[in-house]
Amino acid sequence: MKKLLNISDLDKKDFFSIFDNADCLLKDISQKPLTNISIGLIFEKYSTRTRLSFQVGILKLGGNIIDIKFEDLNIQRNETFEDTFKILALYLDGLVFRTNDHKKLINAQNYFNKPIINGLSDISHPCQIIADIYTLKNIFNDFENLNICWFGDMNNVLFSYFELLQIFPKIKLNVFTDKKIFTENINNFPKVQNINYYFELDKNIIHEADCIMTDVYTSMNDNENKEKEFLLKKFQVNSEILNLTSDKCVFMHCLPANIGSEVTEDVINSKKSIVLKQAENRMASQNGILQWLFS
């Protein structure tokens, strides 16, 4: 059975199928690959892009969406997690699940014997990375030889990029972060050959990038950490960094952004910024994922 808890659930062929599906569905929305399919959405955390792009995407593909709130279920009256997910599987064909604890996703998949899509966890955000790469592929006509510079925190989004590089080893990833953040996090990340780490800015490396990207310093599963904000200050993506990039280079951010922290307003609104395209492509790429999962 297919699932998407992490990027490591996919192989090269799956990526190409998802991207082909996304392109075909964009050209011909009369296809309804989710007819008679009901998908439950469980969001334990806030979401704008993921929730809405799945809701609208599933409806466009002919499927049904069922919003599930744990607070409305008998799990509140001590029904077990196990029984809850076994019961959900009797009615639903799939789940999109955003959680603060990745173990819950794995546990849910033990009892819900149908496809689950990770809509973001504390560890990973596979749907975001698929949308990002789909966006870059549309701009550069290729994604297997991209040169990406990441600035800032080592978080769930970056974790999914690490997994991507295990599948596409020719993608170059340069991570600009603080040494302390690196030391605290690196053991939680997969071991990947092709990643370079920089604890100071490096003009030449930034100039070679096809894409520079960042994300918030306090993810939704983190507590505010003033020391981290301070340590990462020198990696803020601002005009100084943008001016080091080449003409072809684009700026990405999965959003929501904390303007003035990891990125400045002029950068996010600059001509090089493709953050809206990136958000728009969440729906197209997820439609590709849904077709891959349910056909």
Listed ranges 29-37, 47-55, 227-235, 266-274: which one lies at the site for ligand CP (CB under 6 A): 47-55
Q: Which does 48 bind (CB under 5 to 8 A by kind): ligand NVA, ligand CP, none?
A: ligand CP
Nearer to ligand CP by Cβ, of 44 and 202: the residue is 44
For ligand CP, the binding residues in 121-180 under the rule CB under 6 A are: 128
Nearer to ligand NVA by Cβ, of 125 and 172: the residue is 125
Q: Which does 145 bind (CB under 5 to 8 A by kind): ligand NVA, ligand CP, none?
A: none
The reply to whether 120 sits near ligand CP by the rule CB under 6 A is yes
The reply to whether 214 sits near ligand CP by the rule CB under 6 A is no
User: 186 is written with which tokens?
Assistant: 């690196």
- Write down the number of H helices and E strands in the chain: 12, 9
Q: How far apart, in whole angstroms, are the C-alpha atoms of residue 43 and residue 50?
A: 10
Contact indicator for 273, 250 with CB cutoff of 8 Å: yes
**CA distance to 85, 139, 169, per residue, from 280 (Å):** 31, 14, 27
Nearer to ligand NVA by Cβ, of 117 and 216: the residue is 216
Q: Which does 155 bind (CB under 5 to 8 A by kind): ligand CP, ligand NVA, none?
A: ligand NVA
User: 288 is written with which tokens?
Assistant: 């590709």
The reply to whether 47 sits near ligand CP by the rule CB under 6 A is yes
How many residues at the interface with ligand CP, by CB under 6 A? 8
Q: How far apart, in whole angstroms, are the C-alpha atoms of residue 136 and residue 252?
A: 10
Give the residue, chosen from 68, 201, 255, 259, that forms a contact with ligand CP under the rule CB under 6 A: 255
CA angle 136, 7, 180 (to 5 degrees): 85
User: 83 is written with which tokens?
Assistant: 């029984």
